[in-house]
Chain A
Amino acid sequence: VEVKEKMKIEEMQKNIRLHPIWQKDIPFGFQPGLPMLSVEQNKLCVSFFIHRAVSYPSKFEMFPPEYFATWVYPFKKMVRFFHLPFHSADPLSVKPVVFDLNDLAIQSYNGIYDECENAVLSWLNENDSRAVYRYQEYFDSAVGRLGLGSMYDRGKINVLYGGF
């Protein structure tokens, strides 16, 4: 049995940025936000808000998302892409969020990526969708701690864009 190795989030993001739609349509400087894992059509998917983010010496500002896109593992094929202001009559209306980059916030933020990598690995090796659901629960609580709960409201995202 082939054991898959952990896919680093950086590799995932690299695949995403190399996508032709990204190169052609996404303004330079926009970045994928936090990874939202889901299982759709029995396939592992990751969705990202795509938005601007600005760094200050000890703060980090995330602007409201401009795009929403979903990729299927190994995250080279895009299966969903929305330019949000043009997508819905009732778009996810959020304000920019600024959070202090204290140790706790950095730990919470990075914890999301660590858990995402673990969930992807569990899915690949055990085909275990429970790992993805556990990640979603972890995600909800971590974004809440970071003050990003309104931007990453999973219920709303599901209704508006599907998947998550």
Chain B
Amino acid sequence: MRLRANAYVYLAIMAIMLFAILWTQLGMKYGIQSKLLPTLIGSIVFLIATVGLWVEVRKEKKAGKEEKKTAGEAKETWRRSLVNFSWVIGFLLGIYLLGYTIAIVIFVSSYMKWLGTRWLTAIVWAVVTSAAIYSAFQFGLQLPLYKGIIPEWLMG
């Protein structure tokens, strides 16, 4: 029997809770006061996830043809969402490597272009945004932005 995505989510939550309970009980030398709540909440969430999984498996048995029709559409939206989320991760990596000022310019211009803006507009927006953020942090909040490991390494 092929499980639906929801069922895997419940299984993942059950695994995380089981790990948390075992870690609390066996892995660390906590006192009873520190063990109580993680064990209690972990067990409750584990039980609820089990109920959810049971409901999901029962639903799976009853699932009709209609669901399969919309599955293709949902898959496409899911794929596009994942691509958009990968831009977020790319931005995080950009900040870590190049720092905020450079990463903002690259991220805003390329993401806007990818979303359908013309290059010139995207670059102007990117430069203005980066300059505005830099000024607001550097001069307004007097809070230097993260410089990134590559510029810091280059500057020694």
Q: Tell me whether A and B are bound partners.
A: no
Interface residues of A (CB under 8 A from B): none
Interface residues of B (CB under 8 A from A): none
